[in-house]
Each structure stands twice: as C-alpha cells, then as structure tokens.
C-alpha cells in the first residue's frame, strides 16, 4: 500500500471531507482565474488557488450536481455549503492579505520582529483551521443528506479524483527520482 495512504479510516473520512471542500472551493471560484504564473500556466488567485484547474473542476462539479437530482432539502444544504465555503474563502483571502502586508511592513525595519511575524502566522493559521472546519462541516452535512444512490455517485467521482491525484503524485515522485533522487538517471555524481 502507498505509504501516503496508510492510516485509519479516519484518514479516509478526512480525505473525503477535504475533497468535498476542494470541490466546493472550485465550484465557488468559478471562472475567477488570474493571469499566468511564473511557469506560464494559468493560476487561480489567492491562497489555495487552483493553478488553472478552476474551470475544469467547475465543469465536473456542475456535472456532478446535475447527476445527483437533489431534493429541495438537499439543494438547500448544497447552497448552504457553497455559501459557507465562499464566505470562508473570502475570509482566508483577507487573512492571507493581512499576513502579506505585515511581512511587507516588517521588511522595512532594520531588524525583523520574528516573534510578531510568528504570532500573526499562528493566529491566522488557527483562524484558517476554524474556517476549514466550518466549510467541511457544511459539506459533510450536505453529503449526509444524500441517499445511497447519490452517495455512490459522489463516491465514484471522489475515487476517480483520488486516482488522478495519486497518478499525478507518482509522476512527480518519478520525475524527482530521475532528476534529483538517489540512483536516478538524472542524479549528479558527488565529489569525493
């Protein structure tokens, strides 16, 4: 078994919640894609950006939403999850901007106040964790409202997404091994 995937069923529940939040973030981000990043690829703006995957994920989310044939109660939970996620995403962007501004101001000082920077980072991290938990709770409430057939549809979509993520990670690991890893084809000999 892949060492990354080892763990308890709690890991799978957390991963499913994280993916639900991921799907929700992509859905809320919509077409809000900013110009290209340093590598020339389109990048989503703000923290937790989609690096050009926003429109593709939107299509997948819209297709999934349509396949679920939600009841009015389920649709309300979907909308509540989206609203929670959008609100929390904006709060995270504001926190990120606050941290960026503090760092910018700190750079103007002759001596950095690392304690203050760390304290702000920790505060923002705690706020971010709380926002992530609120968003995950809203998406899990939506998921829990689904019937078995709808959960199967969502589960199939999530499993396909997990497989694609695993494949991408494996390709990245292989690339790293070839170019930087021990015994890789691209590794440079070390000086004696």
Q: What is the 3-state secondary structure (H, E, C) of the chain?
A: CCHHHCCCHHHHHHHHHHHHHHHHHHHHHCCCEEEECCCCCEEECCCCCCCCCHHHHHHHHHHHHHHHCCCHHHHHHHHHHHHHHHHHHHHHHHHHHHHHHHHHHHCCCCCCCHHHHHHHHHHHHHHHHHHHHHHHHHHHHHHHCCCHHHHHHHHHHHHHHHHHHHHHHHHHHHHHHHHCCCCCCCCCCCCC
List, for residues 62-77, the tens digit of each pLDDT value. 788 899 999 999 999 9
Please report whether residue 183 resides in a domain.
no
List, for residues 35-70, the tens digit of each pLDDT value. 333 333 333 333 344 333 456 666 787 788 899 999
Q: How many domains does the chain have?
A: 1
Please report whether residue 29 resides in a domain.
yes
Please report whether residue 28 resides in a domain.
yes
Residue 31 in this model has a pLDDT that exceeds 80: no
The mean of the pLDDT values for the chain is 75
Please report whether residue 78 resides in a domain.
yes
Please report whether residue 163 resides in a domain.
no
User: Percent of the chain, pLDDT > 70?
Assistant: 64
pTM: 0.63
Domain that holds residue 96: 10-147
Please report whether residue 169 resides in a domain.
no
């Amino acid at each position: 078994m892949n060492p990354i995937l080892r763990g308890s069923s709690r890991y799978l529940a957390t991963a499913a919640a994280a993916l639900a939040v991921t799907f929700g973030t992509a859905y809320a981000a919509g077409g809000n894609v900013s110009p290209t990043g340093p590598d020339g690829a389109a990048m989503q703006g703000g923290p937790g950006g989609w690096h050009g995957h926003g429109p593709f994920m939107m299509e997948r989310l819209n297709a999934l939403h349509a396949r679920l044939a939600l009841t009015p109660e389920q649709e309300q939970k979907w909308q509540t999850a989206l609203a929670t996620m959008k609100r929390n995403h904006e709060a995270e962007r504001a926190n990120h901007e606050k941290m960026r501004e503090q760092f910018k101001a700190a750079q103007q000082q002759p001596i950095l106040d690392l304690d203050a920077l760390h304290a702000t980072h920790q505060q923002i991290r705690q706020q971010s964790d709380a926002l992530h938990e609120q968003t995950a709770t809203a998406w899990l409430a939506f998921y829990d409202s689904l019937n078995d057939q709808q959960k199967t549809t969502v589960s199939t979509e999530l499993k396909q997404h997990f497989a694609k993520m695993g494949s991408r990670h494996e390709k990245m690991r292989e690339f790293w091994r070839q170019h930087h890893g021990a015994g890789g084809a691209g590794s440079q000999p070390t000086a004696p």
